Structure 1
Amino acid sequence: MATDHYQLNDYLSQLLDIYPIEQLYDRLENRRHPAKARLPLSPRCKPALVERRWQAVGGDAKVREQLLDTQTRADMEAYRANIENFIGTVKVPVGIAGPLRVNGLFAQGDYFLPLATTEAALVASYNRGAQLITEAGGCAAMLLDEGVSRAPGFAFANLREAGEFAAWAVSSLNELRQVGESTTRHGKLKNLRLTVEGNHVYLHFEFATGDAAGQNMVTIATEAICAHILAHAPVKPQYHFIEANLSGDKKASAQSFLGVRGRKATAEIHLPRELVEKRLHTTPESMVDYWRMSALGGVMSGTIGVHGHYANGLAALYIACGQDAACVAESAVGVTRFELTDDGLYAAVTLPNLIVGSVGGGTGLPSQAACLSILGLKGPGKARALAEVAAGLTLGGELSIIGALCAGHFSRAHKVLARDRKDS
């Protein structure tokens, strides 16, 4: 996190042009006077509490109406289990891309993709990629694995105690499984991995979560397991934490490629040369050249995985369809591969961390449920198909953006599609 000395000097000069040095110091002083207003103690979603929060926040009627419009008031109860200190909703524009044809183990058919974003050119790019895939007969997609993890950590007096505890945990796996699974109708403990680091032991629990994304499910199950461990382990830890930062939760990590977190999916397509030239205005050779150079660029920059822009499509899909948007931090880990074929281009994407569900979380909220309904993937039995569709979406996005970069259309598309923006 170092800063070059010339950049630091330049920044300090800018600050001193704004404030005298004494004022700079003063602005960083601690100020212990009472806050002007306080929010109600209760975080519940009730009209009287919402009114009190708005009184504390202030703002004119126009600001309030933008967040707490008539429809939001009517739907207020629907948000009860998804938000604390509720004051309204933010309207993110939703565009539609597709159809995207997916020939998957679970996703079969043509899908229109609702994408929520404020970035001009994003929906247009994914729309182009989806239509290209469909015109070529669709992408093959395969769900490879499933599992959501939580990794509590336990500290002991010494390595001997840590080893004794690790041996007990392994021998008690069936017992721990029963305890964890007793907290949920759908969660199943698939695996336990142990990491011993000095006098610390990490227990990496991996659960199958049915059709839910499962973050809360595995947390509750792991909490019950930890309570059981504290009560029954022959060696008592000095302290423990329910998550010791080994699971990779909401972080891009190298261990993504060693297993699964969420749902692991891959998608591929063979594109005829004439279709690449007609729809992307470039050649398979140019696209492979770009992929090769960008792969090395990704390695040299230290990225985890190599791809063009998975986060763009996944964030837009997640927001539209009630997924946990923060999980894009790990879901957007993966690899894209392009190769020349005798008659065109082979393209594939693999994503090991798709944290998606068709039930639970935000999937039942009014707008998000509507977007899942557009996909035809709302409710039980649809999560695996949703993961395969997400893989197909990212494949379309890779083809489109790399095609634009090869054809010299990347910046032009942004200029044209954002031309009507009026900045206030």
Structure 2
Amino acid sequence: MSGKRSLINHHMRQLLDQHSVDEFSQRLQLDTEDLPRALPATAKCTAGRADKLWTRLNAPEAVRETLLDPTTRDQIESYSGNIENCIGSVNVPVGVVGPLRVRGFFAHGDYPVPLATSEAALVASYHRGARLISAAGGARSVLLNQAVTRSPAFAFRDMIEAGRFIAWISEQFDHLCARANATTSHGELLDMSITAEGNHVYLNFEFSTGDASGQNMVTIATQHAFEYILEHSPIAPQEAYVEGNLSGDKKASAQAFTTVRGKKVSAEVIIPADLLEKHVHATPQQLVDYWRMSAVGGVLSGTIGVHGHFANGLAALYIATGQDAACVAESAVGVTRFETTDDGSLYAAVTLPGIMVGTVGGGTGLPSQRACLELMGLSGAGKSGALAEVTGALLLGGEISIIAALAAGHFTRAHRKLAR
């Protein structure tokens, strides 16, 4: 246990008010007696298999009827390939913001953006930011780069062996591409970096993934390249792993922050002072002053990048549109910047190097999630670039809205009003 003495003492007093140290020690003893039978594992989703699981769970009928409601029962087979041991679905409220005007390389239109959340005030805040951006003529939002990475790792007896392996692997890129690219018609191995640490060697493969977010795609492609390495390397590694945790998968990393993992997007807007006052009741200078102090606060806390609340909009959009929600951990990294222009307007920009979104594959084909993408006109092939640019513009609106609320002293009042 670590932490402040006063907090630890407070916590321990609360615990010891309930039980003695000996009683807690007894409660923490492990045993294998009277273990419950494990639930049968199944990857196929059918109403019949769900019923069998519910029978084993012996749960109240009301719980079963809520999770395995008639709509879910009717469409449960469409969940196969997305979940295992399926017993139903969870309904999350979906709100809509906008329409949000976006001008980008791929996105060019006015987009109603669905957000799935149970957090009061979130949709209201993003809606306010979206309306303000649209009133200012829209946000420029540009997809700057895209790549998804996977990082095989190899351990050798010593640095001499590791060095020989590096000399060999640096000449094998064409062969690795042939193996990896044969697994998919949508993605392509673009590049490879090499990192040595003592007798360990990490490779970081960078793939394009078409319109898919691409996590599974790059894993399968990397496995084939990995097998080529094990078959042909003149230096046999003592240990080898298809993923060595260098890729930044589902975690914030300085590497992704300075390069790209997923889709790198930058979005900007210029908002005249009178328009800002009308929509958020704050001045450009108020927002800039708050942004400056919050940026320093972020640095003092050790954040990777500086922003207000990227995770809020990303999580709600990811759940609504069938993205991998766990990727919010890496996608919610980036920079927000506010300045005043020569004419006294507000210049606002966000840059995110790791937006993990797709419009095909994964959860994007599930009925509700596909409907949310169709609402934006962004379902299917050829739309992932536009979705990334809309995401950047959405997060820009969210940053303007929350920083305006904090700068003008409206933040607590809004939550008190909407969260009751």
Above 0.5 in TM-score? yes
- Residues 21-36 of structure 1: matches in 2 within 5 Å? 21-36=21-36
Aligned position for 2:410: 409
- Residues 80-119 of structure 1: matches in 2 within 5 Å? 80-119=80-119
Aligned position for 1:375: 376
Structure 2 CA distance, aligned partners of 1:96 and 1:34? Answer: 49
What is the CA distance between 1:59 and its match in structure 2?
1.6
- Residues 132-143 of structure 1: matches in 2 within 5 Å? 132-143=132-143
User: Gaps spanning 5+ residues in structure 2: where?
Assistant: none
Structure 2 CA distance, aligned partners of 1:106 and 1:400? Answer: 25
1:288 partner amino acid: V
SS state at 2:277 partner: helix
- Residues 51-90 of structure 1: matches in 2 within 5 Å? 51-90=51-90
Aligned position for 2:125: 125
Aligned position for 1:357: 358
Aligned position for 1:236: 236
- Residues 16-415 of structure 1: matches in 2 within 5 Å? 16-343=16-343, 344-415=345-416
SS state at 2:112 partner: strand
Q: What percentage of aligned pairs have identical amino acids?
A: 58
User: Gaps spanning 5+ residues in structure 1: where?
Assistant: 420-424
Structure 2 CA distance, aligned partners of 1:214 and 1:131? Answer: 32
**How large is the Cα RMSD of the aligned pairs?**
1.0
- Say whether the 8 Å CA contact 2:50–2:86 is kept in structure 1: yes
What is the CA distance between 1:185 and its match in structure 2?
0.9
- Say whether the 8 Å CA contact 1:38–1:56 is kept in structure 2: no
SS state at 1:388 partner: helix
Structure 2 CA distance, aligned partners of 1:289 and 1:2? Answer: 36
- Say whether the 8 Å CA contact 1:148–1:218 is kept in structure 2: yes
SS state at 2:364 partner: coil
Structure 2 CA distance, aligned partners of 1:292 and 1:213? Answer: 34
Structure 2 CA distance, aligned partners of 1:24 and 1:361? Answer: 44
Structure 2 CA distance, aligned partners of 1:338 and 1:258? Answer: 20
- Say whether the 8 Å CA contact 2:41–2:85 is kept in structure 1: no
- Say whether the 8 Å CA contact 1:39–1:52 is kept in structure 2: no
Structure 1 CA distance, aligned partners of 2:229 and 2:279? Answer: 59
1:354 partner amino acid: I
What is the CA distance between 1:46 and its match in structure 2?
2.8
What is the CA distance between 1:407 and its match in structure 2?
1.6
2:372 partner amino acid: C
Structure 2 CA distance, aligned partners of 1:68 and 1:346? Answer: 49
Q: Any idea what the Cα deviations from partners look like across 1:129-166, whole Å, max 9, x if unmatched?
A: 00100000000011000100000100001101111111
Structure 2 CA distance, aligned partners of 1:148 and 1:335? Answer: 20
SS state at 1:246 partner: coil
Structure 1 CA distance, aligned partners of 2:68 and 2:352? Answer: 37
What is the CA distance between 1:170 and its match in structure 2?
1.0
- Say whether the 8 Å CA contact 2:263–2:355 is kept in structure 1: yes
SS state at 2:204 partner: strand
* Deviates most, 251-260 or 292-301: 251-260
Q: Any idea what the Cα deviations from partners look like across 1:187-226, whole Å, max 9, x if unmatched?
A: 1011100001110000000000000000000000011111
Structure 2 CA distance, aligned partners of 1:13 and 1:201? Answer: 49
What is the CA distance between 1:23 and its match in structure 2?
1.3
Structure 1 stretches of 4+ moved >6 Å:
none
SS state at 1:363 partner: helix
2:282 partner amino acid: T
Structure 1 CA distance, aligned partners of 2:371 and 2:44? Answer: 25
- Say whether the 8 Å CA contact 1:40–1:49 is kept in structure 2: no
- Say whether the 8 Å CA contact 1:264–1:354 is kept in structure 2: yes
1:298 partner amino acid: G
- Say whether the 8 Å CA contact 1:144–1:265 is kept in structure 2: yes
Structure 2 CA distance, aligned partners of 1:53 and 1:86? Answer: 8
SS state at 1:18 partner: coil
- Say whether the 8 Å CA contact 2:43–2:80 is kept in structure 1: no
SS state at 1:347 partner: strand
2:376 partner amino acid: L
- Say whether the 8 Å CA contact 2:45–2:76 is kept in structure 1: yes
What is the CA distance between 1:257 and its match in structure 2?
2.5
Structure 2 CA distance, aligned partners of 1:66 and 1:412? Answer: 34
Structure 2 CA distance, aligned partners of 1:331 and 1:405? Answer: 24
What is the CA distance between 1:390 and its match in structure 2?
0.3
Structure 2 CA distance, aligned partners of 1:351 and 1:221? Answer: 26
* Deviates most, 33-42 or 301-310: 33-42
What is the CA distance between 1:43 and its match in structure 2?
3.6
1:397 partner amino acid: G
SS state at 2:268 partner: strand
Q: Any idea what the Cα deviations from partners look like across 1:303-324, whole Å, max 9, x if unmatched?
A: 0110000000010000000000
2:296 partner amino acid: L
